[in-house]
């Protein structure tokens, strides 16, 4: 193959490769708590809001507060753990009813998991 043919093929490949933009589609449900689907960005938003309060040494209606893991979840990051509400509306928790769902994080701003009261007995949690 001659250089001009290689150049023509390379130009064709590049022009067809960049002609159509690639759309990144987020996975619909990173976590499902009961019947509520949370995207990874919703989880990140709740985690960021909770950690912002934690790192500022402040709370909103007592959140975030320490989560003692009485249920014995095997989280992928080490504790001390803190819980903060994640809302089905997608908005960051700013007070009022926290709903049943929580993000769990540690003091290093690492997500430990997402848990819910939905389907749990008493005031316990189950994993989402």
Catalytic option among 23, 26, 65, 71 = 65
61 a catalytic residue: no
State the residue for tokens 């759309």: 23
Catalytic option among 23, 68, 71, 83 = 83
CA 64, CA 57: separation in Å to the nearest integer?
Answer: 10
CA 85, CA 9: separation in Å to the nearest integer?
Answer: 55
CA 6, CA 87: separation in Å to the nearest integer?
Answer: 55
68 a catalytic residue: no
71 a catalytic residue: no
Catalytic site positions: 65, 83, 117
């Amino acid at each position: 193959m001659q250089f001009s043919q290689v150049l023509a093929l390379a130009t064709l490949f590049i022009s067809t490769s960049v002609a159509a933009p690639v759309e990144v589609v987020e996975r619909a449900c990173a976590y499902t708590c009961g019947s509520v689907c949370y995207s990874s960005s919703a989880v990140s938003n709740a985690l960021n809001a909770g950690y912002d309060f934690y790192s500022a040494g402040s709370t909103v209606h007592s959140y975030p507060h320490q989560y003692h893991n009485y249920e014995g979840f095997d989280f992928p990051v080490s504790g001390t753990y803190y819980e903060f509400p994640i809302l089905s509306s997608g908005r960051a928790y700013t007070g009022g009813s926290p709903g049943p769902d929580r993000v769990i994080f540690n003091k290093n701003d690492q997500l430990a998991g997402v848990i819910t009261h939905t389907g749990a007995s008493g005031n316990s949690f189950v994993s989402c």
